[in-house]
Amino acid sequence: KQEVTQIPAALSVPEGENLVLNCSFTDSAIYNLQWFRQDPGKGLTSLLLIQSSQREQTSGRLNASLDKSSGRSTLYIAASQPGDSATYLCAVKGGEGAGGTSYGKLTFGQGTILTVHP
Amino acid sequence: NAGVTQTPKFQVLKTGQSMTLQCAQDMNHNSMYWYRQDPGMGLRLIYYSASEGTTDKGEVPNGYNVSRLNKREFSLRLESAAPSQTSVYFCASSEGSGGGIQYFGAGTRLSVL
């Protein structure tokens, strides 16, 4: 069974810092990995999706890397801003070899609560 | 851009009552999902539908039923609500057979007393 762990559980930083959020998964046979953002009381917003064949994806100040063989992904946020404060969730989708019923299913980590203070 | 719309946003039920959570997407996606989010447990998949007319169980299907009414709509029904079903429920959709980005609704906050 796939398990996803995110470290740290919470992070508080001053505005302007560059920071790294970590995600690890136990089964390297993944189809893709997604990073989401969740604001309090809201739904999830997809930030980046990395296919299993890719090493990284970038969007603005965000960069996500994937090392499938070691079961790790990192989300790098450059020049953090108070508006980045939210919970960041990592989710992996099972690969084709994991069986037909796992296709399309995401396994989520518990998230990292990020607070960026002015 | 409506995206994924869930109704209701909030609901309070008594133990044993039934209700249906509604979800609709306007992105012409084939795949739709229902998740629940609980403190300390993260998001867990309840049911999913890879295409119109098909549904499959996820990680925590007990106590729930689903209906893929058409391509747009995917409903989740609690036949006899229990306090353990107090949670935040999210509907999501993705194009194709599930390999792409999943788009989430704003959630339904359900309390069962």
Cβ distance of A46 and B101 shorter than 8 Å: yes
**pLDDT bracket for residue A97 (50, 70, 90):** very low
CA distances from A31 to A10, A76, A95, B49, B50 (A): 27, 21, 4, 18, 16
B102: nearest CB among A101, A106, A111: A106
| pLDDT tens column, A48-86 | 999 989 999 999 999 999 999 999 999 999 999 999 999
| pLDDT tens column, B12-55 | 999 999 999 999 999 999 999 999 999 888 899 999 998 888 89
Cβ distance of A89 and B43 shorter than 8 Å: yes
B99: nearest CB among A101, A104, A109: A104
For B46, name the nearest residue in chain A, comparing CA atoms only. A105
Backbone angles phi, psi at A82, to 5 degrees: -55, -30
Cβ distance of B107 and A46 shorter than 8 Å: no
Count Cβ atoms below 10 Å from residue A83 Cβ, excluding itself: 9
Provide the CA A95 distance to its chain's centre, in angstroms: 17
